[in-house]
Amino acid sequence: MNKQKFTSGFVSIIGRPNVGKSTLLNSIIGEKIVITSDKPQTTRNRIQGIHNIPGGQIVFIDTPGIHSGHSRLNRSMVDVARSAISGVDLLLLVVEATSAADPAFIQDVLGKVKIPVVLVINKIDLLSDKNLVLKKISDWAALHPFREIVPVSAGRNDGVDHLVSVVSGYLPEGPAMFPDDILTDMPEKFIVAEMIREKVFRLTRDEVPYSTAVVVESFIERENGVIAISAAIMLERATQKGIIIGSKGEMLKKIGSQARQDIERLLATRVYLELFVKVVENWSERPSKLRELGYE
C-alpha cells in the first residue's frame, strides 16, 4: 500500500509597509504570533509561523515592509525583507486593494526573482464591489507572470483558507521541519517583548514608537505558576520619557495592562509584568546595540 506523500516548504510574505502582512500571518496560523498596528514598519524581524495542513507543513516567513530606509535600523529591516526573497519555495507578495498597480515596485522587488510568486490583494473589504476587485486583479496581472492572484481580507479572515490551499499546491515533497505542536520558532521572550512594543505603537504618538525597542530583562516562573517578567522600554532621547510614562505614570500602566493581557493569553497562565523606561541615546544608529537587539 502506497503511503501518501508529505509536502513541506518555506513561503515568504513580502510587500510594502502596512499592507497587512502580519495580520495575514496571524490569520493563517489562527493565533497572534506577530504584532500589528496601523502604523507602518511595525515588524522589524524575520518571523516564522508554522502551519500544519493534512499531509503537509507550511513555514510562513513574515518580513518587514520594503521601503526606502534612512536610519541604520530601517536599512537593516529592508535587508531582512529582501533576504527573505531567496531560499524559499514560494513568495506571497501582498498589496493593498486600494493601491494602484505599481510597475516600478514590481520591477524592483521581483525583477530578478526566479521562484513562483502568488500575488495577494489584501483588504478587499475596502472596495465597494466585485468589479473593482476584478479590475485590480487585471491591473496587477499585467505587471508580472504571477502564478496566481488571490484576493483576501486578512483582518476579516476572508479568503485566507483558499490562499492556504493555493500555497499548498506549490510545496515540494519533503518531511515536516518542525514539531506539529508549535506555532513559531521564535522564543517566548521575543514574542513577549514584541507584545509590549505593540502597545507602545498603538498607544503613543508621533515618532516615539519608531524610537522604541523592548528588552526582557528577566523571565521567571514562580512556584505558584505565575510568570514574573521584567522588561525595559528603550528610548533614544530623554525627552521621550514623559510620553511613555504619562501623567502620574498612567501611560506606562496602560501599556503594561494591555500587554499583560496578551502575554497571559500567550503563556496560558497569570503574569506579573514590571515595566521600566531606559534611555540609550541614538540606539537605532549604533551597530552594537542593533546586533544586541537582533536587528543586525
Rounded Cα distance between 225 and 213, Å, is 28
CB 267 within 8 Å of CB 195: no
* pLDDT score of 115: 93
* Pick from 87-101, 117-131, 181-195: least confident: 181-195
CB 277 within 8 Å of CB 252: yes
pLDDT score of 74 more than 90: no
Percent of the chain topping pLDDT 90: 58
Q: How confident is the model at residue 1 (pLDDT cuts 50, 70, 90)?
A: very low
Q: How confident is the model at residue 3 (pLDDT cuts 50, 70, 90)?
A: low
**Chain segment 141-178, per-residue pLDDT in tens:** 999 999 999 999 999 999 999 999 999 999 999 999 99
pLDDT score of 247 more than 60: yes
Other C-beta atoms within 10 Å of 172: how many?
9
Q: CB neighbours of 93 closer than 8 A, spacing ≥ 6?
A: 14, 15, 109, 110, 117, 118, 119, 120, 146
Backbone angles phi, psi at 266, to 5 degrees: -65, -45
Instruction: Name the residue with higher pLDDT: 202 or 232.
Output: 232
Q: Give kind and range of the element (H or E) at residue 183.
A: none
